[in-house]
Structure 1
Amino acid sequence: MLTIGVEEEYLLLDRDRGLPVPRSAQVRAAADRLKSVAEDEVEPELLQAQVEVGTPVCESLEEVGENLVRLRGAVAAAAANAGCRVAACGAAPARASDPVPVTAKERYQAMSEDAPQLVDEQLINGMHVHVAIPDRDNGVGALNRVRPWLPVLVALGANSPLWDGGDTGFASWRTLVFDRWPVSGPPPVFADAADYQARTGALLDAGAVMDRGQLYWQARLSERYPTIEIRALDVQLDIQDAVTLAGVVRALVARALDDHRRSARLPDAPSELVAAATWQAARHGLDENLINPHTWRPDTAREVTGALMTHISPALREAGDLDLVTAGVERLLSQGNGAQRQRRAFVKDGLESVVDLITAQRG
């Protein structure tokens, strides 16, 4: 069974107005004093109104869930100690007029000098899923085969419909904000690990990125761990949805690795169609048609999600995750993803209700 790890990014909001507040240092210091938190499990992010957590390497989805319950609870307690609230949303629903300060880290300061407006608006939060790979050649083979399905992940995981106090019209505004960086969106197809290394090195040599951490593709090879890292998902409102989508991602990578080992034909996934499908998924989430990666024609969100589930069902069954993930995906389709739930709260009771929703601690 492939091991898995999950990273989640959160916003820190003030108690009264629900605006981002620069208290990352205080929250991390408070978290470090908790016995339930290990060293480096709560880390800074680009802006001082954000923190990131990372689970240990996990064998099972149950273990992922247990660690996310532990880490979210710890960060919520630390935030309360620092006089703020933790929000699990893909984008800040509202912002103050003054930009949030950048974290005092050389790399982040350099990014701010290079692209100040982009950094000021980087109040977005993702869920990154790391899945173990045997080596980087196999990892590239998996990257090439998960590409067509990344837009479906965007749609399922959309949780960022609001920005500057209003509805953006997009289910995942985070996807659009992130797509403004030079190297972002769905990754290209690579021949092998050497090709990946050479072409990413060329981006570095060209000055397009300052380091490999700025390869903001929705799926990439990790530079820190022996994993493929799937970055297409907004951070989730609920832990149970995060666990469901982590299971979907692990099964998708497992199926891709198996297809690569069998030298199965690469899926027909032209870059322009994958990019268009990504925009469509970010725009509509689960509310309208998506582009079906089997046919590259529009189809209902339920049909496209069903195609994904059929594709990964053998891997889910082998991991013992079929029932848990199937029930979780059905819950997303029937009860709504984060974007749909945020919109319902916004329409019913306004921004205050949205802030209550995204700062609630739910398992």
Structure 2
Amino acid sequence: MITVGVEEEYFLVDPVTCLPVPLADAVRGAAGLEPIVDAKEVQSELLQAQIEVATPICTDLDEVGGHLLRLRHALGMAAEKNGCRIVATGTAPYRETAPVPVTKDARYLAMRSQAPQLVTEQLVNGMHVHVAVPDRATAVTVLNRIRPWLPVLVAMSANSPLWDGRDTGFASWRTVIFGRWAVSGPPPAFADVEDHDRRVQVLLDSGVISDTGQIYWQARLSDRYPTLEVRCIDVQLRADAAVMFAGIVRAMVATAIRAEETGAPFPHCPPEQLLASNWYAARHGLSDLLMDPEGRCRRAGDVLCLLLDAVTPALEEAGDVREVTSLVHRLLQQGTPADQQRRTLADGGMSALTDLLITETVSP
């Protein structure tokens, strides 16, 4: 069984105003996760109003869901003890005029010196799915095969429509914000692992990025783990939606490995097509047409069906097909979290939106 792990980022907010509050150190200390379990389960983030969790290595989706709920609940209770709440949204809907303090870490402080305005506006949260791969050469071939599908994940996961209290017109404004960094957006195609490593080294030697952690491609080879990391997904409002994406991404990787083994034709996706598809997905989510991997605009539901058809054999092999399919159907019926945020804000205003974000984040 191919193993999987998930990282999630959350905001700490005032329970009345929904403004980010810089209490990450206090909440991490109160959560009781570091001394009791594994220090890697809860981590600091770039800004002091953010906190990150990481599940252990999991073999099935029930494990993923159980760990995410456990971590969300532990941090939720720790946040309440400190007068704030955790919310799982891709952008902070509201911001103070004064910047949120940067975490006092040498790497983060260097990033602030390098790009101060980008760091100030990095109030964005993602979900990262790590899927085990046999080796780096396999990881590069998988990366090449899944990249045309990444915009579909962007559209499905959209959970960041608001910024400074206003609707941005984008379902995933986080995708736009992250796209401003030097090495970001959809990953390029590589000839092989040597080509990948050579091109990454050129970026490092240039000095534009200081380490491989600043390679913000939407999918990349992990330097810390023997995994491929898919990071184009907005953090999900509900933990079970995060489980759905863990299952889909694992199935995409398994499907790509099988395609490589059987010599299936290599997908052709020019960079300009992929960039356009990614922008369109961030703009509309599932509320309009989507570009399929061939570059054709089709109904969003039809493109999701194409994705499910492609990965169903891998889902069946992992025992995930029923759970993932039912969650995808719910997504098509209810819309994305971005749609939910917009509806709630229109119907009940800021207080209703705040209640939605706080309640759904820790909902089972």
Q: Report matched runs for 1:319-330 at 5 Å.
A: 319-330=318-329
Aligned-partner Cα distance in 2 for 1:41–1:203: 30
Q: Which residue of 2 aligns with 1:20?
A: 20
User: Cα offset for 1:40?
Assistant: 2.6
C-alpha distance after superposition, 1:214-244 (max 9, x if no partner): 0000000000000000001000011111101
Aligned-partner Cα distance in 2 for 1:106–1:237: 31
Aligned-partner Cα distance in 1 for 2:298–2:82: 47
Q: Which residue of 2 aligns with 1:356?
A: 355
Letter in 1 for 2:236: Q
Aligned-partner Cα distance in 2 for 1:292–1:57: 32
Mapped contact 1:34–1:74 kept (Cα < 8 A): no
Q: Which residue of 2 aligns with 1:68?
A: 68
User: Cα offset for 1:37?
Assistant: 4.6
Q: Which residue of 2 aligns with 1:148?
A: 148
Distance 1:346 1:199, change over 3 A: same
Q: Which residue of 2 aligns with 1:306?
A: 305
Q: Report matched runs for 1:36-185 at 5 Å.
A: 37-185=37-185
Mapped contact 1:345–1:354 kept (Cα < 8 A): yes
- SS of 1:52's equivalent in the other structure is strand
Aligned-partner Cα distance in 1 for 2:329–2:272: 30
Aligned-partner Cα distance in 1 for 2:34–2:332: 37
C-alpha distance after superposition, 1:304-360 (max 9, x if no partner): 101000110111011111111010111111112110111110111112211111111
Distance 1:34 1:225, change over 3 A: closer
- SS of 2:39's equivalent in the other structure is coil
Mapped contact 1:42–1:52 kept (Cα < 8 A): yes
User: Cα offset for 1:39?
Assistant: 2.2
Mapped contact 1:22–1:48 kept (Cα < 8 A): yes
Q: Unpaired runs of 5+ in structure 1?
A: none
Moved over 6 A (4+): 33-36
Aligned-partner Cα distance in 2 for 1:151–1:260: 22
Q: Which residue of 2 aligns with 1:250?
A: 250
Letter in 1 for 2:83: G
Matched, 1:30 2:30: yes
User: Cα offset for 1:33?
Assistant: 6.2
Distance 1:257 1:269, change over 3 A: same
User: Cα offset for 1:259?
Assistant: 1.1
Letter in 2 for 1:232: C
Aligned-partner Cα distance in 1 for 2:260–2:180: 31
- SS of 1:350's equivalent in the other structure is helix
Q: Which moved more, 1:25-34 or 1:104-113?
A: 25-34
Q: Which moved more, 1:254-263 or 1:111-120?
A: 254-263
Identity of aligned residues (%): 54
Q: Unpaired runs of 5+ in structure 2?
A: none
Aligned-partner Cα distance in 2 for 1:332–1:15: 27
Mapped contact 1:89–1:358 kept (Cα < 8 A): yes
Distance 1:34 1:119, change over 3 A: closer
User: Cα offset for 1:207?
Assistant: 1.4
Letter in 1 for 2:297: P
Aligned-partner Cα distance in 1 for 2:33–2:226: 30
User: Cα offset for 1:170?
Assistant: 0.4
Distance 1:76 1:202, change over 3 A: same
Matched, 1:222 2:222: yes
Aligned-partner Cα distance in 1 for 2:145–2:349: 41
Aligned-partner Cα distance in 1 for 2:323–2:41: 26
CA RMSD of aligned residues (A): 1.1
Mapped contact 2:171–2:283 kept (Cα < 8 A): yes
- SS of 1:256's equivalent in the other structure is helix
C-alpha distance after superposition, 1:94-142 (max 9, x if no partner): 0000000000000000000110000000000000000000000000000
